[in-house]
Amino acid sequence: MRYPETPESFLIMEEETLSRWEEENLFEATLTATADGEPFVFFEGPPTANGRPGLHHVISRTIKDLVCRFRAMEGRKITRIAGWDTHGLPVEIETEKRLGISGKTEIEELGIAKFNEACRGSVFEYKEEWENLSERIGYWLDYSQPYVTFHPGYVESVWWILKQLADRDLLYRGHKSVPYCPRCGTGLSSHEVALGYREIEDASLHFLCPWVSADGSPDSEGRAFLVWTTTPWTVPSNTGLAVHPDLSYVEVEENGRLVVLAEE
């Protein structure tokens, strides 16, 4: 098998290819050629534009573009819609760094409205770099009318969908362990954890943590905290116990011993 000769410069080959596509209006030509085809709509999984794109974005976008081009070759009418993710901790943490603050308390001292405005002003900092990446790797996407997650229309559509689910009794209240960030004071989204999530019966453990004084001496009344965990294998490594400043705790006598636990 013979392979094409390796060009002296891949950069030159890239520029020549992109230039030819632009001269021939190739993207627009594919849309015209399949205008009467069966619709195939692609929504870009929105990147966060307050950070620069990385190599993993090149890989994922190559796969996405491959699917759309394949469908176009089948004669499908392809609608490619760009999007921007403007919510979440990546935006907030980056804004904290810029403002020289850290954590929920300092955000509240600054003022929620001021902090939100600073976040809003940062979300498109690298927008041009993202669009340039798309062009350089030949990723065809329509940036003329992107969806933006902080736009009222997008937010309203999410609430509308949620209401449709509620009206059809497709929502329920349950319990689920989620990653939590004590610094940010919020649960963390985790796509990997969410994949394949299912409720199962699993081992858990209740155990007592002895109450000790600051100097390490045991409590004179022998009190202990009642603790519950779903990860028994981590107990040997425990070195401390956290209590919530806003919750009420009670002492209960059990088998002649005082046990401390949350009231509710």
68 Cβ neighbours under 8 A, 6+ residues apart: 40, 42, 78, 80, 140
Q: Where are the domains of the chain?
A: 10-86+123-170, 205-262
Give the global pTM: 0.64
End-to-end CA distance of the chain: 73
Strands (DSSP E) along 194-233, which ranges? 205-210, 224-229
- Give dist(CA 255, CA 58) in Å, integer: 63
The whole-number pLDDT of residue 173 equals 92
The whole-number pLDDT of residue 1 equals 59
Could you give the C-alpha distances from 232 to 108, 205, 206, 229, in angstroms and in order? 37, 6, 9, 6
Q: Which of 91, 48, 44 is nearest to 65 (CA)?
A: 44
**What's the Rg (C-alpha) of the chain?**
27
The whole-number pLDDT of residue 215 equals 83
DSSP letters spanning 7-20: PS-HHHHHHHHHHH
Say which CATH architecture domain 10-86+123-170 belongs to.
Answer: 3-Layer(aba) Sandwich (3.40)
The whole-number pLDDT of residue 111 equals 96
Which one-letter amino acid corresponds to residue 237? S
The whole-number pLDDT of residue 81 equals 94
Splitting the chain (264 residues) into consecutive groups of 10 residues, what average pLDDT does each group show?
74 90 92 95 90 89 95 95 89 92 92 94 92 93 91 96 97 86 77 62 87 84 89 87 90 87 86
Could you give the C-alpha distances from 154 to 84, 88, 158, 192, 232, in angstroms and in order? 11, 15, 6, 25, 43
119 Cβ neighbours under 8 A, 6+ residues apart: 91, 92, 95
The whole-number pLDDT of residue 192 equals 44
262 touches 247 (CB < 8 A): yes
